[in-house]
Amino acid sequence: MLTFNLLVLVALAYVAFLFAVAFAAERRAARGDDGWLRSPLIYTLSLSIYCTAWTFYGAVGYAARSGLEYLTIYLGPSLVMIGWFWVVRKLVRIGRTQRITSIADLISSRYGKSTALGVIVTILVVVGITPYIALQLQSITLSFSVFVDPGGDVPAGASRDAVALWSAAGLALFTILFGTRNLDANERHHGVVLAIAVEAVVKLCALLAVGIFVVWGIGRGWTDMLARIDASPIADWSQPGGRWVGLTFLSAAAFLCLPRMFQVLVVENGNERHLVTASWAFPLYLLLMSLFVVPIAVLGLDLMPAGSNPDLFVLTLPLSQGRDGLAMLSFLGGFSSATSMVIVATIALATMVSNHIVVPVWLRLRRDGSMIAGDVRGVVLLARRVSIAAVLALGYVYFRLSGGGAALSAIGLIAFVGVTQILPAMIGGIFWRGATGLGAAAGLVSGFAIWVWTLFLPSFGADAVIPAQVMAQGPWGIGWLRPHAFFGVQGIDPVMHAMIWSMLVNTSLFLIVSMLTFPNPLERMQGAQFVNVFEHSAGTRAWGQTAAAAEDLLIMAQRIIGAADAQAIFLRAAQAQGKPGYLPDVTPDFIALLERELAGSVGAATAHAMVGQFTEGASVTVEDLIAVADEAAQILEYSTQLEAKSAELEQTAGQLRAANEKLTALSVQKDSFLSQISHELRTPMTSIRAFSEILRDGDTGPAEQQKYAGIIQDEALRLTRLLDDLLDLDVLEHGQVELHRQRGQLRDVIDRAVSAAGPRGGRLRLVRRRADEAIMLETDLERLAQVFINLIANAQKYCNAADPVLRIEVARLGAGYAVDFVDNGTGISPEHRQVIFEKFSRLTDPGRAGGAGLGLAICREIMARLGGGIDYLPGQGGAAFRVVLPVADAMAAQ
């Protein structure tokens, strides 16, 4: 006999194994070695979280009670996946182009990025899914209790609650650890996905092993098994037709609407092609999961003592035959089913709660300066972690309060009916342009209310929430509102009753209100984007002409998605527009792109609100509306194209003007440089000539001779230095320079640069993180040091803060590294940024600097020769320069 302690030990070892698997997957993904993590097989296996503990244990119990009806729960999803070309493909495509983070986000985004709809859907699923999570906790405790007391009854309360509590805590830890690693919900959670794929294999193997044991170990093969079925209490085909059709529809709908299924099916989908494989592989998985259910149920009814819980036959049957190992495997299978469902459901719910409730509330509370102060990214991550803990705590509380009595499948079906309320708004939203937000809200709220009244509240038991007298006679004696007999239609099975009425009212209100109301422009545009997703996958165009400053947007984006990612997006956008630096033109395309990127982290509604703070005239342009109304569009489209062309011309003209201004400025600079260089050459020349004349005339004492010769030499040195700089630049520009490649530490190069530049202006304080600088380089270290010396010297000369500080930061940038030099002065004004890297440019008055304005030009040439780059980095609070180390060198790192 297995002891309780051994069981706990095995469960803990299994959990440790899952942690190791998830950790290893994250490590591999971080190294970029994640090819097989993105395979269609892993995707299909991750879909198997549809099979929870309810299906693992409950299906056998279901079959023992109601014959073949349990098959409907598997047939519905099978049909949905076989018919992937209808709905799932469209959902996945929309999820990818609109960067959808959850099912609440899908509804909110479709109906004009509405915050209210996001909140409604979030509340609905939290209410519907919390009991479902409680059900998983219950199944874990129940399966533990089997080993303590083979009868399947609940053991001593304390240990039962402890099992549930520790399970919930462990699951919360796992989910927080691996579910919130990255903020962007569209990035796959590799650790979680691989862990649930492993669990999918474990539960399938466990159920197949028990099934094979039952058919060939206890029975004598298939024919014998069919004979046993015919002799069993469930021999007759007596399936009520209504429930058969209704439950097939219900499970198909729930498969699309359950938050955890939406998470793995749409959000975690890495490649649309995986659907093609999953279209046959997932039904096959479901077939295998349900293949042995009836044999196990029949033999359980036959062999187990009367009155034993059929929900636990999967465990008790092997135990009663003395197969402890098999029982242990079966226990792990049930454990896997419960844990993987809880993990993914919790991630999905936490994403919704944080994106649609916590963050909007937080933003509203600090409306005034939300973009300027505070770290949004940190808040969102914290909100998500707290939500995970809160969701699991809610599940645990529900488990404690409900006492865990009802048959396992009851809660499952109740949750299915609850989430199915989203179906009309979802299907209508992706196939019907006329669906409006008000219609969706009317349908959702009415369906939700009916579900709560007719199914959810009565499920707590008679007199628990609704008094028995109300159940029998209706509220305030209104007979047609009785929870189980709406409009006097009596005698229907409660689940079917609730499903039919809620779906009927939900769908009707959705359609009627949609037809009566008028959508706002953003809603119409999103509707067109969703319904016609295959025609224009280019993505949304949200805004017209705007006055948002690119730098403000950069500062905001840095706070949400992190500095490195934000800078990368801005750099790419600027490059696509053909502009140097980090600040692209704020075009509608760019705004739409940025909004989508942010939506991947905080949801569409919040991203829209945040970007909206910066964009004036928060309305949809004529052009966008015409694209929406494409049935009436041809002529208008043409004039719009003309308009677009003229806008493009205007932009080109603007760029030409800018280029011209730059040329003029350069010409002025060149003139001033020539006059300055003449001046610089003449001054030393004059004194050299004068003192050499005195020396030639020869009537001087030795001491004076010494002094005059010294002056002549100093002036000659100054001339040489100037000419050296000019020559250096010339050599670099014409590519004749020879590089002396060496290996060395970045830290040493910076050390050398600091000590070379240091002694002159001791006032400047340096802030470094020496640990980050331990990077091996293979490049011309002398030249690199020259660049660093120049940047440090510039900070010494030009930083005008009272207490000047220069931060030197090393950061990973894609495949390579970047070294940022950021001081705390006033920085460089935008109009000067484009000329500082030019030759002869110097921003302050010539007398103060003492150089000829060649330093940064030389730096730029050196970095270009080394294969890297140097740029001005805006939005950092002072003058900031980013030196990008050449990629090949960084590859040679470590």
Q: Which residues bind another protein (CB under 8 A)?
A: 67-68, 71, 75, 78-80, 82-86, 226, 229-230, 234-239, 241, 244-245, 248, 272-273, 276-277, 279-280, 283-284, 287, 291, 294, 534-535
Show the tokens assigned to 567: 């800078």
DSSP result, 413-424: HHHHHHHHTTHH
Nearest to 607 by CA among 520, 535, 522, 534: 522
CB neighbours of residue 347 within 10 Å: 29
Mode of pairing for the β-strands spanning 485-486 and 880-884: unpaired
Residue 252 vs 810, nearer CB to another protein: 252
Strand partners, 817: 812
> CB within 8 A of 360, min separation 6: which ones?
115, 605, 606, 609
CB of 638 to another protein, least distance (A): 22
Q: What is the largest CA-CA distance in the chain?
A: 136
Residue 480 vs 534, nearer CB to another protein: 534
CB of 784 to another protein, least distance (A): 46
> CB within 8 A of 435, min separation 6: which ones?
110, 111, 425, 428, 429, 510, 514, 527
Residues 412 and 422: their CA atoms lie apart, in Å, by 17
> CB within 8 A of 578, min separation 6: which ones?
655
Residue 257 vs 598, nearer CB to another protein: 257
CA quadruple 185, 187, 189, 194: dihedral, nearest 10? 140
Distances (CA, A) of 260 to 113, 125, 349, 602, 804: 22, 10, 8, 18, 53
Show the tokens assigned to 843: 């921003």
Show the tokens assigned to 854: 């060649």
> CB within 8 A of 45, min separation 6: which ones?
196, 197, 200, 201, 285
Question: Measured between alpha carbons, how far apart are the two ends of the chain, in Å?
Answer: 54
Amino acid at 828: I
Nearest to 737 by CA among 728, 746, 745: 728
CB of 449 to another protein, least distance (A): 30
Angle at CA of residue 690, ends 686 and 696, nearest 5°: 140
CB of 67 to another protein, least distance (A): 6
Residue 499 vs 560, nearer CB to another protein: 499
CB of 630 to another protein, least distance (A): 14
Residue 69 vs 199, nearer CB to another protein: 69
Show the tokens assigned to 573: 């956008």
Residue with tokens 């719009």: 640
Name the DSSP class of 664: H
Residues 270 and 193: their CA atoms lie apart, in Å, by 11
Show the tokens assigned to 595: 């909004």
Residue 238 vs 469, nearer CB to another protein: 238
Residue 228 vs 842, nearer CB to another protein: 228
CB of 84 to another protein, least distance (A): 8
Residue 292 vs 486, nearer CB to another protein: 292
Residue 75 vs 806, nearer CB to another protein: 75
CB of 531 to another protein, least distance (A): 12
CB of 68 to another protein, least distance (A): 6
Residue 237 vs 518, nearer CB to another protein: 237
Residue 22 vs 210, nearer CB to another protein: 210
Distances (CA, A) of 42 to 264, 800, 870: 11, 57, 42
Residue 86 vs 638, nearer CB to another protein: 86
CB of 226 to another protein, least distance (A): 5
Residue 189 vs 228, nearer CB to another protein: 228
Residue 535 vs 714, nearer CB to another protein: 535
Amino acid at 295: P
Residue 216 vs 480, nearer CB to another protein: 216
Instruction: Check if the beta carbon of residue 842 is closer than 8 Å to that of residue 854.
Output: no
Residues 146 and 141: their CA atoms lie apart, in Å, by 9
Query: If residue 661 lies in a helix (H) or strand (E), which one and from where to where?
Result: helix 634-697
CB of 381 to another protein, least distance (A): 35
Name the DSSP class of 130: H
Show the tokens assigned to 24: 């290893």
> CB within 8 A of 866, min separation 6: which ones?
739, 779, 780, 783, 784, 886
Residue with tokens 């510039």: 794
Would you say the C-alpha torsion 44, 46, 49, 53 has a positive or negative sign?
positive
Show the tokens assigned to 527: 């509707």
CB of 71 to another protein, least distance (A): 6
Amino acid at 158: A
Strand partners, 880: 822
Residue 234 vs 892, nearer CB to another protein: 234
Residues 293 and 207: their CA atoms lie apart, in Å, by 9
Residue 82 vs 472, nearer CB to another protein: 82
CB of 519 to another protein, least distance (A): 25
CB of 272 to another protein, least distance (A): 7
Instruction: Check if the beta carbon of residue 700 is closer than 8 Å to that of residue 879.
Output: no
CB of 252 to another protein, least distance (A): 9
Q: Phi first, then psi: what are they for 779, rounded to 5°?
A: -165, -175
CB of 239 to another protein, least distance (A): 7
Residues 547 and 624: their CA atoms lie apart, in Å, by 18
CB of 204 to another protein, least distance (A): 15
CB of 240 to another protein, least distance (A): 9
Report the Cα 570 to chain-centroid distance in Å: 19
CB of 80 to another protein, least distance (A): 7
Residue 237 vs 476, nearer CB to another protein: 237
